[in-house]
Amino acid sequence: MGLMDLMPNRPRGLGIDISTGMIHQAKIRLKSSNLRDRVVFRQENAEELSSISQETIDFAFCVGAFEHMLDKKAVLCQVQHALKPKTRFLCLTHNGDSFWNKYISPYLNITNTHLSTDKCLDKEEITRLVHGSGYESLEFGYWSFIPKGDIRFPLGPALQSMDFIGKLIKWRSLREGLFFLANKY
């Protein structure tokens, strides 16, 4: 199942980020996209989502940002509040239970987080947060997240190799990317 299978066929999209710089970059990229007339970007804190009315969103998607958010439960609650009934929230994040995050990174004193407040969660932590935020069901899976720009050579290619092997032999602790799909009914 691909991302497009999860998303409803809607003509418009809204992208938010707390960073004005990221919103600026997104708007620049959007200018050359075939989606330029269908997507709007604006600066907003995901812990508040004050400009989004209750039950107005058909699908929510977060990639590479959840681990940076300070109050993850507030984010989950706000997204749940904004989602229409029978819709989903898909989040791609770091696998806090990966071999890299649990053993190699602490041993080498290397991190793939940017801020001291960043936190990579494992499935148990995510499950507690999601169920405590009003979602009805939760599904997990893995994706190939390789922090190439964050990890210096030769560790980046080593992580790619670990992820590839983990994908082949279905050894989840070698997978760096974790996704969850929270369903609102």
Residue 88 and residue 6 in contact, taking contact as beta carbons nearer than 8 Å: yes
Model pTM? 0.86
pLDDT tens for the chain, residues 1 to 185:
555 555 556 567 889 999 999 999 999 999 998 888 888 999 999 999 999 999 999 999 999 899 999 999 999 999 999 999 999 999 999 999 999 889 988 898 877 666 678 899 999 999 999 999 999 999 999 999 876 666 677 888 888 899 999 999 999 999 999 999 999 98
Domain range annotation of the chain: 12-44, 54-184
Q: Which fold has domain 54-184?
A: Rossmann fold (3.40.50)
